[in-house]
Amino acid sequence: MRIPVTSMADAVSRLVDVSMQLDSQAVRQLLDQSGYPADRMAQHTERILSHIREDHDLCLLGASFDDVLVGLIALKLTSEVRAVIRYLVVDRQHRGDGIGRWMIESVWKRHSLSCLEAETDDDAVGFYKRCGFLVHPLGKVDRGILRYRCVRDLSSTSSPLAGCTE
Ligand SMILES: CC(C)(COP(=O)(O)OP(=O)(O)OC[C@H]1O[C@@H](n2cnc3c(N)ncnc32)[C@H](O)[C@@H]1OP(=O)(O)O)[C@@H](O)C(=O)NCCC(=O)NCCS
């Protein structure tokens, strides 16, 4: 079901820091939908949660719709205007509703970013392209799927080779 535009505007006001709710069922259930094979999903979710707990520069932001958590984005600021997306997931029932794009645009505006970077694979690279990222194949494979660096950069080079970490 596509969320109506008026309702999305409501969701926009609900991107909140959920870094203190890492043990909640809602956060776990969403992270469990990040696309890993079922037999390794729990382990993968634990790895993400440990990573977020240990890296204090990483913040986890959640998008809610009707008070239900429907999207998560873990963001690391690498300078005042540059950031890297470490994790991004949208509830399966709401994929295609524009929530992923909305979270990208929200963090872009919230932090006045000029450069935003993510690493992803063949399954989600099309999403980043649709959100205005340039894509560079990394020449590596994870679980048989090609990996890519995706960069949205307002600075001079706009090259996906450069990334946002410097
Ligand atoms: C990838 C993901 C975050 C996209 O979220 P979403 O809310 O469904 O995406 P949106 O509805 O905002 O889509 C924005 C645009 O990207 C397109 N798009 C979305 N997912 C896509 C995909 N997997 N491949 C190609 N295009 C995609 C949409 O069609 C839409 O295009 P348009 O509006 O220009 O027509 C979501 O599918 C997901 O959680 N996947 C599992 C986890 C994952 O792969 N995370 C990314 C790894 S970093």
Strand ranges (E), the chain:
15-17, 58-65, 68-77, 82-90, 115-121, 134-142, 145-153
Ligand 1 atom closest to residue 118's alpha carbon, by position in its atom list: 48
Is the alpha carbon torsion for 26, 44, 15, 131 positive or negative?
negative
CA gap 49, 47 in Å, rounded = 5
Q: Which atom of ligand 1 is nearest to the CA of 95?
A: 8
Where along the chain do its domains lie?
Answer: 5-113, 119-166
> Most distant CA pair in the chain: distance in Å?
44
Average pLDDT over residues 136-157: 85
Q: Which CATH superfamily is domain 5-113 in?
A: Gcn5-related N-acetyltransferase (GNAT) (3.40.630.30)
Integer Cα distance of 98 and 71 in angstroms: 11
- With 0-12 / 13-18 / 19 or more C-beta atoms within 10 angstroms meaning exposed / middle / buried, residue 156 is exposed
| 6-32 pLDDT per residue, tens | 555 455 557 899 999 999 999 999 999
pLDDT in tens, 51-80: 999 999 999 999 988 888 999 999 999 999
pTM score, two decimals? Answer: 0.90
Alpha carbon of residue 5 to chain centroid: 21
On the question of pLDDT at 93 being above 50, the answer is yes
Q: How far is the CA of 100 from the centre of ligand 1 (A)?
A: 6
The number of angstroms, rounded, from the C-alpha of 82 to the middle of its chain's C-alpha atoms is 15
